[in-house]
Amino acid sequence: MSLPAPALLDISDLSVSFRTDRGTVRAVQGVSLEVRAGETLAIVGESGSGKSVTALSILGLLGDAGSVDGGRILFDGEDLLALDDDAIRDIRGDRIAMIFQEPMSSLNPVLTVGKQVAEPIRLHRRVPWREAYARAAELLERVRIPDAAHRLGDYPHHFSGGMRQRVMIAMALACRPRLIIADEPTTALDVTVQAQILALLKELTREADSALILITHDLGVVARYADRVAVMYAGRIVETAPARTLYGAPAHPYTEGLMASIPGVDGAIGARLPTIEGQPPDLARLPPGCPFAPRCQHVLDVCGTVPPPLERVAERHLRACYRDG
């Protein structure tokens, strides 16, 4: 057995909180993740589970209200949290790129699409605009925008949602990043377009040998595109495993619940889809023990005391649960 290559991205014990009027919201608590070069990691969870916040803290894009309380984010051996503004800015869009959820609002309405795609190239490669535009035209062609060279001068409102997300992908690929973070890249799109965009994203990241963090709440997406999955609940990772393992043998009650609530083609017509009863906890008033305990069908006495640690259940398969088996 060869030694595993050192991770491209190594997050350990990351905690992030937001100051709000209602008090301190603990959005992410003790999250540890690894992404290897060229790998696709899916982070799955419902809204408020901390998956987007984890992604934003990698690039230092939390804004004024959010603060990293602890942990370390190593990228290529460099601690991103220790970098100053200029240094992290050099990494953004160059070695790590991000794709956001809302293609309709994530592009600047008053700048041409060509300019927006060319901008990171101009910034990080320090080439003349003319050259950056030529490269932007190639990129738009790569994401299969018809007649790409003639659309550089068009504005975002000339494009449909799916086409805009292609523009976002082109923009993310512009500097051939080692890591692309896609935060719910297809949630705002029509179902028919979703699959196209994900396939394109997967294909192009593989071509460029970039690693991909795919943030989603859709386990169906995970099954087709991810190598590995991390399931988040209330700011913590509750289970992480290779995608196939997770599907075959989910080990955390929350993951089991998520799996059960995916509608299948073989399900009986008219049968009720199972749901997970209750609501996710208020992140400003977290219970002392396992955050999932109030909704858990297998709850034990110990669950209400201390949150369970993430422990190995099998090869590369970890979960945070006190239940046996």
Partner 1 sequence: MQAYIARRLAALVPTLLFASLIVFISMRLIPGDVIDLMLAQNDIATGQDRAKIEAALGLDQPMYVQYFRWIWGVLQGDLGISLWQNVPVADQLLATLPITFELGFLALLVALTVALPIGIYSAMRQDTAGDYVARSFSLLMLAVPGFWLGTLVMVFPSVWWRWAPDLEYTPFFEDPLKNLSHMIVPAILLGLSMSAVTMRMTRTMMLEVLRQDYIRTARAKGVSERLVIVRHALRNGLIPVVTLIGLQAPLLIGGAVIFEQIFVVPGMGLLLLEAVFQRDYPVVSGVFLVVGVGVLFINLVVDVSYGWLDPKVRHQ
The binder of partner 1 chosen from 26, 51, 124, 228 (CB under 8 A): 124
Nearer to partner 1, 215 or 321 (CB): 215
CA distances to 38, 121, 167, 188 from 299, in Å: 38, 52, 47, 36
Tokens read off for 26: 């603990």
Binding to partner 1 (CB under 8 A) within 152-171 occurs at: 155, 157, 168, 171
The 262-301 contact track toward partner 1, x by CB under 8 A, reads ----------------------------------------
How far is 97 from 79, CA to CA, in rounded Å? 17
> Which residue carries 């799109």 as its tokens?
189
For 100-227, where are the E strands, in sequence order? Answer: 179-183, 211-216
Total site size for partner 1, rule CB under 8 A: 27
Indicate whether 130 belongs to the interface with partner 1 (CB under 8 A).
no
Stretch touching partner 1 by CB under 8 A, among 76-84, 91-99, 125-133, 193-201? 91-99
Which residues are within 8 A (CB) of 115 and not within 5 positions of it... i.e. 6 or more apart?
133
Instruction: Count Cβ atoms within 10 A of the Cβ of residue 269 and give its class: 0-12 exposed, 13-18 middle, 19 or more buried.
Output: exposed
Indicate whether 185 belongs to the interface with partner 1 (CB under 8 A).
no
Nearer to partner 1, 120 or 281 (CB): 120
| Cβ at position 106, least distance to partner 1 in Å | 4
| Cβ at position 222, least distance to partner 1 in Å | 23
Nearer to partner 1, 157 or 312 (CB): 157
| Cβ at position 241, least distance to partner 1 in Å | 29
Indicate whether 59 belongs to the interface with partner 1 (CB under 8 A).
yes
Dihedral angle, C-alpha 306, 310, 313, 315, nearest 10 °: -170
Which residues are within 8 A (CB) of 22 and not within 5 positions of it... i.e. 6 or more apart?
284
| Cβ at position 129, least distance to partner 1 in Å | 12
Indicate whether 106 belongs to the interface with partner 1 (CB under 8 A).
yes
Nearer to partner 1, 58 or 148 (CB): 58
Angle between helices 191-207 and 161-173 (to 10 degrees): 10
Stretch touching partner 1 by CB under 8 A, among 101-109, 211-219, 256-264, 294-302? 101-109
For the chain, give me the number of helices (H) and strands (E)? Answer: 9, 12
